[in-house]
Each structure stands twice: as C-alpha cells, then as structure tokens.
Structure 1
C-alpha cells in the first residue's frame, strides 16, 4: 500500500514539474511607470497583455516558444529572451528605462546581458562609423562584430541563447552594411534642390515646401506607432524652444496610414506637438518620402532657405551636434 502511494506521489510530482516547464512566470516592479499595462510581443504575432495588480506589480504566466521577444510599456521597449520554465523578475525605473533594468530569478543572466547590450549600443559611435569611407567602414564593422562575439562568449550564457544571439550579431552586421550603402545614396542628395511636398496641415488647409522658402526647414518624418520617434519628442520641443523666433521652421510629417488619421490628429493635440504638423498623402508611398529613400523612421532632413538640401539625413534633436549646427547657421 505504501509503495503504491509513494508511486502515485512521485508521479504527481513529476507531472507538476513537467507542467511548470510548459510555461514561465514573469513579474515586474516599475517605479514611475508610464501606464498600468505591459505588453510582451514576439514571433508569429505573439502578444501578451499584463495588467498591474492590486499590489502594484505586473505579474502573469506565459506559454512561449523559446526565442527573442520585446517588452513594451506603451512608451519604451526592451529585448527579452524567453523560454518556458523561467521565473523572471524585473525591476526598473521608467524615468531611466534602459539604465535601470535589472533581472533576477531563472533566466536573469541572459536578460541582464540583453539589457547591458542595449546600453553598450547606445554609447557606440555610429555617427563615426557611417561617416567613414568604405575601407574604414568595413574595418570598423568587422571589429565591432568581433567585439560583440567576444562579449557574448565571455558572458558564458546558456548554449541555446548564445547560438541564437550569434545569429543576431551576424544579422546586425549585415544590416549595418546595407544601411551604409543606403546612406551613401542619401548623401548624394545633399546640396541638390529638395523634392517638394503639399500635405494637410493639422491646423487646417495644406502646406507645401515652397510656402516655407526663405527659412531653414528642419523636417521630422515620423509616425504615432514609432517608439524611437516618440522618444525624440521632448528633445524636439527643447530645440524648438531654443530656436524660437529664429529663421527656421520645424515640420513634422506623419507617415501613418489613412486608417490612423484620427489617431494622428488626437496624438498631435494630446502631446501638444509644436511646429508645423503635416499628414503625408500616401504614407510610405508618398512622393516626398520615396524621393528621399526613406525606409526607416524617425528620419530628419535639413533644407536651406533656397530650398536646397543641407543634409538629407540630419542629426536627431537629441544629438548635441544638431543644436551646434543650427546655432552656427542661425547666428
């Protein structure tokens, strides 16, 4: 009788252990949170919404396919590596999102590596890389790839993650090479007359580039769904305030699709976006967007008072080099 009971108990424990391996637990404690929902997004349109509970914690169980995911709080996002069996805990301060991410629990080592990699990437000198000639670019890109692979090897992470992230590094290297070639094409636009536009103005009517002749024009091509675009908004407002009254117009051109037109209108109002806010007539297929070869956003463009392109891929508002340039041009 005892042996039968023992056998049943062992079987139940085995089933319990098996069940635990078929899902993961995720918990997040966030200071200065941007909202009461978190979203985990992944392959094959995977989406899990996690609501804040009564204890002020985001907590839920998920069943996933092992791989790379994104955690989004509605404003910021970060990479995750998830697999069933993990018991992952996250703490962060939303005001210092990337800098404050710390994971604990099962799966923490790989995810802390991803968080630290995001900070490493933020401080990498990409402007220098893309300003290099072709020979120097290839050398710098190879060096970056080797450095990234060494960081991964030195971290001594689990083999499945290491193999997966090795492919991420190789893919990122290919993306850099492709982006560099596109950049070289864009640079050829500089000093030439700018393609024009005539788009609906949020304040009413339409605005065309020729209406702004006689002033510098700094254009922000963006969309309401674009996280990096939204992250630039506070910096854009600061730049606009710094150069208020100077000989320059700040123009936002949304490439949201027509179905998101009302979302764009509301977004501009609720976020109190300044400058001239325009809605492109055919999102990514708008003539102005295609003429500049824009395939990723945000994209910034600087045009001179005569309508010629100063920089077809200008620095972002968050870059100190932009304010330095504008200070020189508008003095």
Structure 2
C-alpha cells in the first residue's frame, strides 16, 4: 500500500511537471534607444498585464505564461504601440524614441502581423492628406479612389499570407486594420464633402455607397480597444444619428439645443445597437466627453445630457469620470480663478500657474515631443502671435516628455526659457485644464480665466 501511494504521488508530480513544461508561453522583449521612461508596461485592453524595468543596456523582456491570444499594447511613456500575440510567439522589438513609429521593427516568431499593423498605420498617416483632397469628388469617384487604396493593402496582406503561415485570427486582425481605416473615410465623406465643396445640403448617397455596412460587426469584443475600429464606430454612430434626425426630427433654432439633441440620438443608438458591454460603455463615455468638452458651459443642457448618460452607462468608473469632467468644466468658467498647478522651469524649480499669470494677459498653450509636426507648427504660430499681440504673454507647457528631453528641445529650438515650462503630471494637468487637443489654449488675466476653451489657431485675441 505504501509503495502504491508513493507511486501515485510520483505520477502526480510528473503530471504537474509535464503540464508546466507543455504550458504555452510567450516571449516579448527588445531594446529601447533613447528611452523616455524606465519601464515598459503591457496592457490587454485597458488592464495592465505586467510591467518590467529597462536594464542597464536599455533592454527588457516579458515571459508570459498561458496568456490569452489577441490584441495588446505596450506603453513606453509617453508612447504606445499595438502588439498582437499568439501562443508560442517570441517577439523582439527595437525602437528609437526620437522616431518612435518610423524606427520600430519587430522580429522573431509573431513579428509578421505586428510589422504589418505598423505599416498599415504609417500608410494611413501618409495617405490622409491625399484623401482630404478626394473629399471634393462626387460619391462614385470618391468610392473608387478609397477602394483602390484599400485594394493595395489587401493585396499586400494576401502576399504576406502566401509567404508565411498565418492563422485565421492573424488574417482577421490584418483585414480589420485595413477595412476600418477605409470605412472611416466613407463615414466622414458626406460631411467633409459638404465642407470642401460649399454645398448647402448633405450630398445624396443612395445606391451602393454604404454597401460595406452590411458586413461590419457592431459588437466586436476583440476590436473594442483597436483605434481604427473604435474611430469607425464613433463616426458611424455620428453619421447614423445625423441622418436619422435629418429625416425625422426637423431642426431646432438654438445651436445648443441641436447639439444636445444630436448627442442624445447618439447615446440612444449606441444603447440599442451595441450589446458588447465594454464596447458599449466606452462608446457612451466617448460621446459624453465629446459633448461636454464642446459644450463647455454651465448650462441646463449639459445637466440634462449628464443625467441621460448616467442612466445608460453601466460602468461606475466612467460615471465618476464624467461627473468629474462636468465639475471641472464648471470650475473653468470665465472669471473663475485659475487652477494653481505646480509645473517646472528650465532650472528644475517648481513654479505655480497663478504666479506665471499675474499682472499680464497670458495665453497657456501645450505641446509634446512626440508630436513633431505639431511642435514645429505651434512654435512658428506662437512666434507670429507674439509679434501681433505684444500685450499677451505666451507660455508653453510641455506634456508627456521627460524633463531632460524637454530641456534639450527648448535649447535646440531657441525657445525663450522664461516662457517654457514642463508638466510632469500629465493626468493632473489634463484634468485641471481640460486638455482635449493640442490646439487648445487657456487665456487668463491676472490669475482669472478669460477663456479656458480657446483654440490657438482660431481664437481672436
């Protein structure tokens, strides 16, 4: 009996050992040139999977056991990048933060789809100015141009599949990256066409223009946090809300009422058509943030909208976030005192926002090292504004860049160090100043807010 029990115990240990040995694992590692953070953080959707520190050679590695296949992203603050993972992958990445996307290269098992996703992203960025010109075309000609761009990428994916053994999941991910970028252009078309041509009404889009909608999935759990898919969903529901209201609701006389009416339509459509809980909730959150930031006033319409959102969302964190946004907007109304944020000057001294804005009209604008084109444009534009409006002090606040890199950029571009500051706590500044885009600026006079929702390019100073 004792020998028999020992034998069973041995078999149990052997079985566990074999199971551990056979368990699927994934390796993800690489090297970061010119790192902007000490860590790499790996996410699945919005949840942290794991994080690792860079070693002395700026290298990192993850060894992941029994991980769920699908789309992830890794964060090297302030940058992030998608990563598609399958069982048994061994993916190595090398990148230089000075040219993050352009320098990034994947190698190893599982690299094919990740390089493909990156190339599609870069191709999309490159073709956007071209597509903007296409919006002037009539619907048939526009469709032909967009379909031609899409076909080039589909052909590339087919060639990749011919040369490599790709799973159905990988092929579906590659196709989604192509399709939803293309479909966004078509959802934008009626509005951009009207704007580009000066037509008084939305162009009639009968026939086959929206044929692609027959095959779209409005409840994709796998793609809920994939930017091209989420962007498509945003524009799709905005389009549906506008067109359905155009047919059946008539018009309102006040623009604020129109804005409320349209966004309540969007909430209702998402609530009725999207059943995947996470996707539904993040779409509702996006609509709420977009509405409140555009409305940005202390109005009864904003409170009506807030109550409607609260009744539909099932995510308590989102509800709290939107209430905080609503309260933050109320705190940034004209003649309110400026939030007293702590930022850093070129010599690493702490400086308070209110001290900067004392005695003179001040324009606070924002920039980040990763948005190089924006940085160049905003630097030139502010230089012009300074000459045109000497009565203002123009103050740049840098976000999502490490301090040493920011100091180098200030010196290399001959920026006035007295008017340049570094914001270490991005989330705090974003929340307090309601930063929803880098063209935003905040105008103050002697610590009081004049306009907290101004646009650096369109506001009349």
Q: TM-score range by the shorter chain?
A: 0.5 to 0.7
The separation in 1 between residues aligned to 2:199 and 2:75, in whole angstroms, is 36
Cα distance in 1 for partners of 2:150, 2:117 equals 16
Q: Tell me the matched-pair count.
A: 254
Query: 238, 247, 253: which is aligned to 2:379?
Result: 238
Partner of residue 151 from structure 2, selected from 132, 146, 153: 146
- 2:442 paired residue number: 277
Select 1:18's aligned residue among 13, 19, 22: 22
TM-aligned CA distance change 1:42 to 1:182, over 3 Å: farther
TM-score, normalization by structure 1: 0.59
TM-score by length of 2: 0.44
Equivalent residue in structure 1 for 2:108, among 105, 109, 116: 105
Specify the alignment match of 1:161 in structure 2. Answer: 170
Measure the CA separation in 2 of the matches of 1:162 and 1:49: 28
Deviation at 1:172, TM superposition (A): 2.1
Higher fraction of helix: 2
Aligned mates of 2:123, 2:143 — CA distance in 1: 20
- Structure exhibiting the larger radius of gyration computed from Cα positions: 2
User: Is residue 130–residue 180 contact of structure 1 (8 Å, CA) maintained in 2?
Assistant: no
**Aligned with 1:85: secondary structure?**
coil
1:61 Cα deviation after fit? 2.0
SS in 1 for 2:73: strand
| SS of structure 1 residue aligned to 2:98 | helix
User: CA RMSD of the aligned region, Å?
Assistant: 4.8
Cα 1:165/1:31, change in 2 over 3 Å: same
**1:178 and 2:184 correspond:** no
Deviation by residue 1:234-269 (Cα, 9 ceiling, x = unmatched): 3344224542534378899xxxxxxx884338999x
Match of 2:50 in 1: 48
Which runs of structure 2 are paired with 1:165-314 in the superposition (5 Å)? 165-184=174-193, 199=334, 234-247=375-388, 262-264=428-430, 276-277=441-442, 302-303=457-458
Structure 2 equivalent of residue 69 of structure 1: 72
Asked which structure has the greater RCO (Cα within 8 Å, sep 6+), the reply is 1
Q: Judge conservation of contact 1:37–1:52 (CA < 8 Å) in 2.
A: yes
1-structure distance, mates of 2:42, 2:12: 38
Distance 1:186 1:262, change over 3 A: farther
- The unaligned stretches of length 5 or more in structure 1 are 253-259, 280-286, 290-299, 308-331
Q: Displacement of 1:182 after TM fit?
A: 4.3
| Partner Cα distance (1:229, 1:96) in 2 | 8
Question: How much has 1:151 moved relative to structure 2?
Answer: 1.2
Which shows bigger deviation, 173-182 or 142-151?
A: 173-182
CA pair 143-51 structure 1, distance change in 2 beyond 3 A? same
Query: Match of 1:28?
Result: 30
Q: Is the 8 A contact 1:98 1:118 kept in 2?
A: no
Question: 1:317 corresponds to which residue?
Answer: none
In 1: Cα distance, 2:116 partner to 2:427 partner: 39
**CA 1:302–1:27: 2 relative to 1, 3 Å:** same
For the residue of structure 1 that corresponds to 2:83, the secondary structure is strand
**Structure 1 position 149, deviation (Å):** 0.8
Structure 1 93/204 Cα, relative in aligned 2: closer, same or farther at 3 Å? same
**In 2, Cα distance between equivalents of 1:261 and 1:111:** 29
State how far apart, in whole Å, the 2-side matches of 1:186 and 1:88 are.
45
- Cα 1:189/1:304, change in 2 over 3 Å: farther
What is the alpha-carbon distance in structure 1 between the residues aligned to residue 73 and residue 38 of structure 2? 17
What do the CA deviations read for 1:116-166 (whole angstroms, capped 9, x no partner)? Answer: 333323322x12312322423222211122111111111124133112221
Name the structure 2 match of 1:283: none
Alignment partners' CA distance in 1, 2:190 and 2:354: 39
Please list every run of 5 or more consecutive structure 2 residues that lacks an aligned counterpart in the other structure. 1-6, 201-294, 298-332, 340-352, 397-425, 445-451
1:172 counterpart SS class:
helix
Cα–Cα, structure 1 residues 241 and 278, in superposed 2: closer, same or farther, change >3 Å? closer
In terms of fraction of residues, the more strand-rich structure is 1
Taking structure 1 as reference, are residues 251 and 232 closer, same or farther at Cα in structure 2, changes over 3 Å only?
farther
Which residue is equivalent to 2:121? 118
Q: Does structure 2 conserve the Cα–Cα contact (< 8 Å) formed by 1:91 and 1:101?
A: yes
Task: Decide whether the 8 Å contact of 1:251 with 1:277 is kept in 2.
Answer: no
Distance 1:12 1:152, change over 3 A: same
